[in-house]
Structure 1
Amino acid sequence: MAAASPTHRSRWPVVLFTLALLLHTTPAQAAPKPTVKQLKKELAALQKDSDKLITEYYNSRIARQKAEQSEKAARENLAAAQELYDQHSTELRAMALAQYMGGEPGQIALLTSGQDPTTLLGRMALTQHLIDAQDARLRGYAQVRDARQLAEDEASARADELDGTVEELDKRKKKAEKQIEKIKDKIDQLYTAPGIRRPDGTWVPQLPEGADNITPRMRLVKQLIQERFEVPYGIGCYRVIQDGGEHPLGRACDFMLSRGGAMPAGEELKRGEQIAAWAIKNARRLGILYVIYRQRIWHARTGSWRTMSDRGGTTANHYDHPHVSVY
């Protein structure tokens, strides 16, 4: 074999160094997924910030209402002052007109007229009193007018400032709410339904267990809904009555929106829609079979809602609760 040329020998250190780098270089590791504990800690901090934003938003709206009330009061004060001003102005014009039409002499003429001094002084005092009274009234109007203008200007400036504050807080609040929803979604995605899933997407049914007599799959769905939405009126799952549904099998829960069969409204109605939408969104991953709400049923097989027949009552027709069943 021929000996390596000097040129080839000079290349070997570079080649060996390059091989060493390739052998010792490890691929970049993906950042580990956050745990449920980490996400819940982040969620709690974000919800605290969101609550603060909501408080600031509320206080700003109250301050704006007070500013509007101040401006309204100033307007009302001006209207009253204007009415008084108009009245006094009319009286002054009437007095001036009477003096002009009657040819009543001025004060200098009165002093040189040779009339009785007592009568003369009385007339002059009365005239001056009337003039002073009118002047005082007009000055009072001017003060009210100026105060009203100041209040209106301050209220207007405050309202503009508060409008900007409320608008900014509203944007931040909505942004925080979206971020909260994203974190909640991330928490949900860390869970998958326990049990065996078949190739066709369906799940092998589970037996109920534990003191609550529900399946592990139903227990997980119940836990996630309860943590995400809260259910202040209670959750009903297992019941003994064999009605052909999943409740006696431990594979269904009702998430109540009211008590005593009352028709829910407002926030509770919204909560029911949110729970139903969440269950549908996570149905495939969590093994949810169907959802019933407001006399409609959504089935995993069809992926759409259909109207149900009337069962004769608010609760029977699922108007006061969404029902969630799992495989």
Structure 2
Amino acid sequence: MSSRHPYRSVFVALLAALVLGGLAATPAAAEPGGDTGDEGSSANPTLGSVLDDSTRAWTDAKAKFDASVKHQAELTTQLQATEAQLASIQEQVEAIAVAAYRTGPLTTIAALMDSDSPDSFAERAGSINQIAHHNDHLLHDFKLLKEQQAAQKKALDDEVAAQQQQVATMEQKKKDAEKALALAGGPSKGFVSANLPTADAVPRNANGSLPTEKCNVDDPTTTGCITPRMLHAMQEAQKSNFKRFVSCFRPSGPYEHPKGRACDFSVQTKTGFGGVAAGDDFVYGSNLAAYFVKNATQLGVMYVIWFKQIWTPAVGWHHYSGVAGDPSSDHTNHVHLSIL
């Protein structure tokens, strides 16, 4: 046997080594296909840092601006009501002032001295006291309304100044984001889909900004952690029937995965990421990306990446591609979502 097949044992050993080596080199999460959804060394950490800073600042400024506009509308309504009250008593106050000027301080004494009986004296005294009391209240109310009017006008001026400041911040942060994204590509058409569901909104601070969150919630897709807002976004997407494979936390690497503020949503129908999406997979990914964009305010979205394009609240859709040019780097096999 050995003389007829002198190399058989060597061939079997080499075959076993190749098979075992190939199995060991294949990531478990890569099915179907050979891609894991990890951007790896092709990611640009500087871009991620700039987007984190600029988008967070832009989003906070936008929320404060919106809250200020809402407050301005409330103040305007209050001011209109105050001015209506002032107008309703303006004539009465002017009449009191004219009467006081014409008759002088002896009018009350003269009216009492002209009484022809004790009863008449008492009646006139009571009437004069009631009129004086009414006039005092009227003048007091008029003074308070004037002070209220002045305070409301100042508050409106303050809101306008605050809005101008937020607009300036938004414009600067938009330029920062555009400058960073210019390295990845120019503006693009992006992805839009009609009739997408509206997500439930996350809690916000009184001024409209988002509270700071830590990576302290168990990630249902890995053994790591994610933030409460990230979990909310994933669950809202799943409620809207985007239920394909998801992977969130990674212990290392760029962007928000190690912070628990990012998830990769595979467009494959099976577990894993695979190759470049086509057909129904592409439609699924495009709808999911459009869903996150539509619900950016409700979910606290920082940016969305899908099929060589990236969306941020400040600048909209831009072209984007990874250095490596593989499906994960180009995000042609999954939708990346980063949350503030």
TM-score over 0.5 (shorter chain): no
Q: If the length of structure 1 is used for normalisation, what is the TM-score?
A: 0.43
Structure (1 or 2) with the greater helix fraction: 1
Q: If the length of structure 2 is used for normalisation, what is the TM-score?
A: 0.42
Q: Which has the larger radius of gyration?
A: 1
- Larger relative contact order (Cα-Cα within 8 Å, sequence gap ≥ 6): 2
